Chain A
Amino acid sequence: MVEVRGLTKRFGPVVAVEDLSLAVAEGEILALLGPSGCGKTTVLRIVAGLERPDAGRVLLAGRDATEWPPEKREVGLVFQSYALFPHLTVGANVAYGLRFRRGDRKRRVRELLDLVGLAGYERRKPHQLSAGQQQRVALARALAPEPRILLLDEPLSALDAALRKELRGELRALLKRIGMTALYVTHDQEEALALADRVAVMRDGRLEQVAPPAELYQRPRTPFAASFLGRANLWPGRVVSVDGDRAIVEVAGERIPAERGEALEGDEVLLFFRPEWVEVGEGPLAAEIESADYLGDRWELRARFRGRSLVVLTQEERRPAGSLRFSIRLARAVQHD
């Protein structure tokens, strides 16, 4: 298990990470998700020992590793740029981490190249490989010394969209097959949801929420988490009554049922619902359509409901004008920041 406690890191006046605590369980893939510049890479570099925290601790397998140099930590790091050694062959790159260890290196290199689907590429130089192949070599190199955790820094961001989708499935399958613990830094929410067991949303150096993908998508705890993980409607309103898990939120005079979350009666909250949670055609509510974008498999409508903007998805063709009747199938009260 890998854990960080109370990490803080400043670069001059800029606070990159602030009082951040996080634990990755054995065999778990945890995605660290956030916009660029939110400090997620810094967390990764601190875990790898490439950056020293101003405060806080790094625990590897229960031992305080904060002061350990990178080479003693037994972590594998896959860089965004792959950082393959250009003067070494693929085989030598993969073997690099093994030269400081005992064992049959040749066999291990073959094993790993097999694992990432690059058997027979030992003698090539990195620049002779495609970007996707380079990415696989970087992965094999990081895995070769059997690290206790694999750290991945936007490993797919340099690839084109189609390859990225393909590889993220493969990557997850591979990590699960060998039972590798992984901390995966990305700014791509789709990637995080598809790949991780749990997703940690970061903003301005702090954690917003850590949860499994489905829970995070359906029950975000903050407006930032709600809007960072996909499209979200967030309407200011007030909780007028509470009944167990349920609550009634009043928005612009309409009373809309929602999941209560952590809201209490009388709270000013945001009514959160995803575009696909809106039932279009029939319903008690009416909005004015402002635009309709054709997305291929469906339409995205932007509308206005009593001064609030509304995004919905529907299968039916709509003209970008006129009125729209709708109901909200599922919604949730989210506390303001």
Chain B
Amino acid sequence: MAGPPRQLTGRGAAGAALALLPLLFLGVAFFWPLWDVLRLGLQVDGRWTGERLLAALSDPYVRRLILFTVEQAALSALLSLGLGFPLGWFLTRYRFPGRGLLRAFTIVPFVLPSITVALGFVLFFGRSGHLNRLLMGLFGLGEPPIRVLYTLWAVVLAHAFYNAPVVARFVNSAWERADPTLVEAARALGAGRFRAFATVTLPLLLPTVLSALALVFVLCTLSFSIPLALGGARYATVEVGVYLYARGVVASFPRAAALALLTLGLSLALTYLHLWGGGTFSARQGGVRTAPTVPLLSRERPGRALWLLYLIPAAIVFLGPIGAVVADSFLHPAPGGAAPTLHWYRMIASPAWNPFIESSPLAAVRTSLLVGGGATGLALVLGLSVSAVLRRVRSRILETILMAPLAVSSVVVGLALLLAFRRSPLSALGGEWAIVLAHTLIVYPFVVRAIRPLWDALDPALPEAARTLGASPFAAFRTVTLPLLGSGVLAAGAFAFALSLGEMTAVAMLSGPGVMTMPMAIYHFLGSRDFGAASAMATVLMATTALAAWAWDRAGSRWLSRTGAPAGFRRLPDSAEPVERVASGFMPNHTAVRRLRKVVADRLRRYGEPIHSTTDPVPASAADKHRRTHG
């Protein structure tokens, strides 16, 4: 029955107590540390001033950092589009063996730890990498023909590797939603194949393309491990700059804080930009049916074989680096050719102290798993309680506060916690705890974004029924709500775990002697040219992450595979599409943004697509869009 919003008896005190838990946690682990960064960046001798910011901005090195950041992000976004758009098209249009597998592969980069990608690039595209060796062998060259490492292009290429599949996934899912009737109508009106594509399909896809571009731009601006490992201090981004100032040889916390404020401003501006460019568009209601696929290989259209011209180089770029990592982990380089070995795996399973990583490899593996487990547990508790609070108290201010870590880049979170762990109360905790807290802060917004749509779709009569049968609010949650949210919570947990395992930015800021995780160990092995050990550890890391990501995708797609709403849910929860769920994590919710979105929506109306009202106080992610059309 339609009617007023259903709500359990509004016991203000209980709601406030519920909100207190996450607020307390965020206060101690996030806002207070962030305040320290602010003070360090904006205060000189207890006086508020912009001196440090101005000094930083007038430093030519810092200026180069900023310029480089924007330059590489823009180039990376364009290259990702160039590489990803054809792939999206390919996945939508053609039917061929392995299509499902290829589609599944597009999710991989999102969870593949970036340091493993950087390692793969070094191994594959490096001076004495696989590609150069292959080319030299094939053409009898005396010099390695490819020299991209430690240039702008290495960073851009690695970013494209990372993000092209994301673009492909966006394009693919938008294209599948586009109504083929429109193209048929254009053809019937006399438009040729190309004209129909240019005047109908492309405008329909444009919003998604913009959205994907904006997302990739944001991700590349905030990218850390890849520029750090492939660009060095010379080709560093602002994020890397914060790290270099905080942890480098000439450590200067005030300068690091000033840079952190710059990147904070940058990431805030970018999130808005992304919303402006993308948030509104990505998941609009599609047409009634999806376009049929055509077989890729057919005798009548041999021209389709031309796709190989794209697919083969693409396969080399995408599979080469990962393949190089896996291959090198099993090979022992020798003068007369490499020999298979398990030596590297024995090495990383060793509890012996390694001077390069200032810890033992085995301890790094253990720390990674423990930190991942701890952060996942905390993020689930925090994510569930934040979801519960935001369901109860529909306040934009509270939502902004509770989701604030979303707008802060990992390096800033790292710096804030680095400062916070130097004083009480946090200094009482061990160094691993700094990483656990950092990962919790980085990951829990995604948990909230994953769980809330599910929770909102759950029939409210179910927990109410439990209450009238004698269950306390918590008992009702534990025995009814939680089991029904089950697979969603599981998916969120698996994703959180994968994210924590691969996270290196905060770790770089917070690691130290004895406190080492797998990605950071890989980085140090890479720095000491210890490629075998790096590869072995990267292979283990990739396998673990892939497993977690697989679990995440499985649990998440349980929602997709059903035709109707699952038992207990009033409707199909939206945005089960994992990529979009991730992407939606980058979109905060502010009045100004909503106003912008309206402007964009108005402008888009001429494409004749329905744009749903955005007056709903609930967050405005692409994903939430469908939900608005239901009651």
Contacts and interface: CB of A to CB of B under 8 A. Distances in A.
Interface string A96-114: 1101110000000000000
A49 B9 contact: yes
Contacts of A70: 8-9, 464, 467-468
A145 B467 CA distance: 13
Contacts of B7: 51
Given A50-B8, A81-B459, 9 more contacts: A11-B3, A49-B9, A70-B8, A71-B470, A71-B472, A87-B483, A96-B466, A96-B471, A127-B567
Nearest to B469: A97
Contacts of A99: 470
B218 to A, nearest CB: 38
Contacts of B4: 11-12, 14, 16
B567 A79 contact: no
A277 interface: no
A85 B9 contact: no
B467 A71 contact: yes
Given A36-B1, A70-B9, A86-B484, A96 B469 contact: yes
Contacts of A71: 467-472, 475
23 contacts: A11-B4, A12-B4, A41-B1, A49-B467, A50-B6, A50-B8, A50-B467, A70-B464, A71-B468, A71-B475, A76-B469, A77-B465, A83-B461, A83-B462, A85-B462, A86-B567, A87-B484, A87-B486, A96-B479, A97-B469, A101-B470, A126-B567, A145-B470
Given A49-B467, A85-B568, A97-B470, A79 B3 contact: no
Contacts of B471: 71, 96, 100
Contacts of A76: 468-469
A80 interface: yes
A177 to B, nearest CB: 22
A73 B9 contact: no
A296 B472 CA distance: 54
Interface in B473-510: 473, 475, 479-480, 483-484, 486
A219 interface: no
A73 B8 CA distance: 14
Nearest to A36: B1
B98 interface: no
A50 B567 contact: no
A141 interface: yes
B68 to A, nearest CB: 53
B5 A11 contact: yes
Contact of B469 (A51, A52, A141): A141
A226 B465 CA distance: 35
B631 interface: no
Interface in A49-103: 49-52, 69-71, 73-77, 79-81, 83, 85-87, 96-97, 99-101
A11 B4 CA distance: 6
A11 B462 CA distance: 22
Nearest to B10: A52
B467 A86 contact: no
Contacts of A126: 567
Contacts of B466: 85, 96
A77 B3 CA distance: 19
Q: Which of B461, B462, B469 is the most central at the interface, judged by chain A CB atoms within 10 Å of its CB?
A: B469
A283 interface: no
Nearest to A100: B470
Nearest to A97: B469
Given A12-B4, A41-B1, A87-B568, A50 B464 contact: yes
Interface string B1-31: 1011111111100000000000000000000
Given A69-B9, A85-B480, A48 B461 contact: no
A142 B469 CA distance: 7
Contacts of A11: 3-5
Given A36-B1, A80-B1, A85-B480, A48 B567 contact: no
A37 interface: yes
Contacts of A49: 9, 467-468
Nearest to B462: A83
A48 B3 CA distance: 18
A10 to B, nearest CB: 9
